[in-house]
Amino acid sequence: MIKEKASEIINHYRVLPQLKYFQSEVFELNEAIIREETKRYFQDTIFNKKNITEEIADVKFMLTQFQEYYKISDEQIEEIMNFKADRQLKRIEVGE
């Protein structure tokens, strides 16, 4: 159901406006993580997981819109993610 909603939204607004909106959502996620990790660094005991969760949801929903627009399957994405994760783990293994 979420994929249909995502498709309807991106088809209405089109790709370029949604891409600009996506940039702001990624920035908000980045800021939320920085804010919370800064709190941790200074040993602030109040951690706002809800804020980060909401920002991740915003970014994932935007990604779903692009995925639906370009008709990219979950399997295609999963395959590439696994390849990249394995490659990075090998780099870690050899000390990169």
Rounded CA-CA distance 59/66 in Å is: 11
**Predicted structure pTM score:** 0.88
pLDDT at 19: 97
Total domains in the chain come to 1
- The model's confidence at residue 2, banded by pLDDT at 50, 70 and 90, is very high
pLDDT of residue 41: 80
Residue 77's domain comprises 2-93
φ, ψ of residue 44 in degrees (nearest 5) = -75, 130
pLDDT of 40 over the 90 cut: no
Alpha carbons 70 and 4: distance in angstroms, whole number: 13
Say if residue 62's pLDDT is above 80: yes
CA–CA dist 42, 27 (Å, integer): 22
Which pLDDT does position 5 carry in this prediction?
98
Model pLDDT, residue 48: 79
Residue type, position 51, single letter: N
